[in-house]
A = this chain, B = another copy of it.
């Protein structure tokens, strides 16, 4: 590796001005494209800038315009394809409007999120898109709001915070998916999500992530409507993605194991399917399976999976357009409620006649 070139002093407006033999103010006007400048002078200044290789210092510019043309995005996990795709949407929307995006990954850690908000605010981003890790801690989100900078929540609401939220209607599609399972005969339906709550699920538990709460509400609601007793008993939360497989195993080892499982996102689905595979359980013969999010690989498994599809990219675009519209005090785009749909493929079938659990079914076959 060659020695790095000396970091030369950058060319500034003053340098350009000197070279073009005009005042700094005039050069700045010609370069910044504001105020009035005669054509001849403008040309001379631009030629000088070209010759010197002048590049504006956006930091300095931001400092006195108060606009950084940058929005901050705070998500739990960009490795999660959900956020990868949403990020793509945000990024595309931002580019179209001439904005840049600072991305911060919090690993779903509230403290990291609080920190991220502070840092981005200090960096003077013009607006923020956050998928909040918890609806419990919201002081930092209020700070954003109070700073006067627009905040848009993605995928998750926070109660009592009156800001734009981009989310899909999860409760009704979860209801629909669950009723589909009930309709084909399932009475023991498991639901697995990742969430940092301690202890088993019980009525009235504060879920802290609205998108999960909504999904669960739909799942439970459909079962209650069907007269299934205590559907909450087959709900499980894993703390972090490493915890999913153990939780899935535990659920499937139950004497009254579920005959169908709903996975709350694609990462969970992957872990659950992996566990099923390890246990030698077949989908849908032994266990029916439904998952949230529709990525291409879900059509390539055997069988293709029944999924709940959300317009993730579009939601990302909407989030981007919305913050930027707010930043520019323009009317926000109309469309902010997104529809999720149940895509029926082949991972749902009637449960085995056997009354036993999944593992039991296995030994019976």
A142 to chain B, nearest CB (A): 10
Task: Find the B residue at minimum CB distance from A66.
Answer: B7
Partner of A122 from B55, B81, B119, B145 at Cβ < 8 Å: B55
**A358 close to chain B: CB less than 8 A:** no
Report the separation of the CA atoms of residues A56 and B119 in the bound assembly, to the nearest whole angstrom.
Answer: 10
Partner of A105 from B91, B104, B148 at Cβ < 8 Å: B91
Task: Find the B residue at minimum CB distance from A10.
Answer: B147
Contacts of A35 in B (CB 8 A): none
Q: Mark A146-160, 1 if CB is under 8 A from B, else 0.
A: 111110000000000
A5, A70, A79, A302 interface centre (most CB from chain B within 10 Å) = A79
**A270 close to chain B: CB less than 8 A:** yes
Contact A84 B92 (CB under 8 A): no
Partner of A84 from B81, B297, B299 at Cβ < 8 Å: B81
Contact A150 B95 (CB under 8 A): no
Report the separation of the CA atoms of residues A62 and B119 in the bound assembly, to the nearest whole angstrom.
Answer: 13
Would you mind naming 9 contact pairs between A and B with Cβ atoms under 8 Å apart? A59-B59, A70-B102, A78-B87, A78-B88, A95-B112, A100-B104, A270-B300, A274-B296, A297-B301
Interface, chain A (partner B; CB < 8 A): 1-2, 4-8, 55-60, 62-63, 68, 70, 77-79, 81, 84-85, 87-88, 91-92, 95, 100-105, 112, 118-124, 145-150, 162-164, 270-271, 273-274, 277, 295-297, 299-302, 326
Which 3 residue pairs spanning A and B have beta carbons closest together? A7-B148, A302-B302, A297-B297
